[in-house]
Amino acid sequence: MDFKKLLRGWYSVNKRDLPWRDITNPYHIWVSEVILQQTRVAQGIGYYYRFLNEFPTITSLALAKEDKVLKVWQGLGYYTRARNLQKAAVWLMTNSNGELPKTYDSLLEIPGIGPYSAGAIASFAFGLAVPAIDGNVYRIVARIFGVFASTASATGKKEFNDIVYEVMDKDNPAQFNQALLDFGALQCTPRKPNCVTCPFNSVCYAYRNNTIESLPVKVMKGAVRSRFFVYLIVKYKDSILMSKRTAKDIWHSLYEFPLIEVDDQKSLESFQNSTLWRKIFGKSGVYINKVSPVITHKLSHQTLNIMFVTLTASRLSQWAFRTYSFVSTNNVGDFSVPVVIDNYLAAEPLGEYL
DNA sequence: AAACCGGGGCT
DNA sequence: AGCCCAGGTTT
């Protein structure tokens, strides 16, 4: 089987037209690859244009405030990606002449660039003959070549890498790697792959052995943790209280409202007995305007059950003044917030009770 | 090696 | 209700 020739033939007919396709600007390719980490192409396209419009060069990204980068990233998830991009841009200015380095190994040292992205940038931008192995490639190789090794193990990774390097088109690694991505996304899909029209169906191990559904071998995922949040939308004069998340937890560096986390669903109702409530309001009274129903917000590894409590306070503790930012209701939109907060604010505008 | 980190679309 | 997406980093 001439793998690269069959793939090239498929690609000549089925190639996707994407904004980051057939470009060589290393910065643009870098941004696209980071955006697309664990992110669907359809979701990433808008962010790609918006990000490069806001930060057209590595220099502009290096000079940007992290909060501004996170605001542009809002809604895309995995926010460490945005912080790493900005951090890396700053690093490149002083250590690499403001440019991405041009070898696979040096790309790997940049925060936010791992084995896949280093291979993608090295091949797409610099034409280096290195594999760029993502979920698509694992799936394609596992099925066609009958590889049952786990993609999570070190030996499995090496096995896949060796096969891809062996079959890849060293004369056009950029086209070869991009063709694999399109082939995985369009033809050899996770479920219901289009084997009938596949150019590899006569040689594909999984097709011939009826193991399409069991390849690649997937690892069992652990139980999803449930958490219970009460967000206090505290109105004080013309402001509301917000703070930046700094703990080693979800949504690091994003902004939020005063948060009471409780142990279970029924404890959501007793937010007025919490320590945080007393620390903010002391013994002074507050007027509760609205208590939202419990909103379920699913992350890949946690299920959040969130209740929003909108209230008006005439007095706050000194601790509250020290701890929170007082944000004019007109400026709340300038802060990067989790999607679940953005959605709630869109549905329940802040001006209503002011 | 396994856990952690978001959000959305598809089935 | 799962699965998985142009994965990387931390534990």
Mind listing the pLDDT tens digit for each residue in A275-325? Answer: 999 999 998 889 999 999 999 999 999 999 999 999 999 999 999 999 999
What is the distance of C-alpha A71 from the center of its chain?
Answer: 14
Q: Is the CB of A251 under 7 A from strand B?
A: yes
CA–CA distance, A314 with A235 (Å, rounded to integer): 9
Scan for tokens 């002011």, then name that residue.
Answer: A354
Q: 3-state SS of chain A: helix, strand, coil percent to 5?
A: 50, 15, 40
Q: Is A33 known to be catalytic?
A: yes
Q: What does the pLDDT look like over A16-50, one tens digit per residue?
A: 999 999 999 999 999 999 999 999 999 999 999 99
Residue A117 has pLDDT above 60, yes or no: yes
For the CA of A222 and the C1' of C11, the distance in angstroms is: 16
For the CA of A213 and the C1' of C6, the distance in angstroms is: 22
Mean pLDDT, residues A234-242: 95
Structure confidence at residue A352 as a pLDDT band (50, 70, 90): low
Report the sign of the C-alpha dihedral through residues A72, A76, A80, A82, in that order.
Answer: negative
pLDDT of residue A288: 97
CA–CA distance, A231 with A242 (Å, rounded to integer): 10
Nearest residue to C4 via alpha carbon and C1'? A190
Q: Which nucleotide is nearest to A137 (CA to C1')?
A: C6
Nearest residue to B11 via alpha carbon and C1'? A191
What does the mean pLDDT of chain A come to? 96
Residue A238 carries which DSSP code? T
Q: What are the φ and ψ backbone dihedral angles of A114, each rounded to 5 degrees?
A: -105, -165
**Can you tell me whether residue A62 is helix, strand or coil?**
helix
Residue A204 has pLDDT above 80, yes or no: yes
For residue A169, give the amino acid letter: D
Scan for tokens 């760029």, then name that residue.
Answer: A132
Q: Which nucleotide is nearest to A120 (CA to C1')?
A: C6
| CB contact at 8 A, A149 and A160 | yes
Q: What does the pLDDT look like over A137-186, one tens digit per residue?
A: 999 999 999 999 999 999 999 999 999 999 999 999 999 999 999 999 99
Buried b (16+ CB within 10 A) or exposed e, A304-320: bbbbbbbbebeebbeeb
Nearest residue to B7 via alpha carbon and C1'? A77
Q: Is the CB of A178 under 7 A from strand C?
A: yes
Q: What does the pLDDT look like over A118-140, one tens digit per residue?
A: 999 999 999 999 999 999 999 99
pLDDT of residue A134: 97
For the CA of A267 and the C1' of C1, the distance in angstroms is: 26
Which residues 269 to 328 of A reach strand C, CB within 7 A?
Answer: 300
Whole-structure pTM over 0.85, yes or no? Answer: yes
pLDDT of residue A353: 55
For the CA of A78 and the C1' of C5, the distance in angstroms is: 13
Structure confidence at residue A354 as a pLDDT band (50, 70, 90): low
Nearest residue to B1 via alpha carbon and C1'? A153
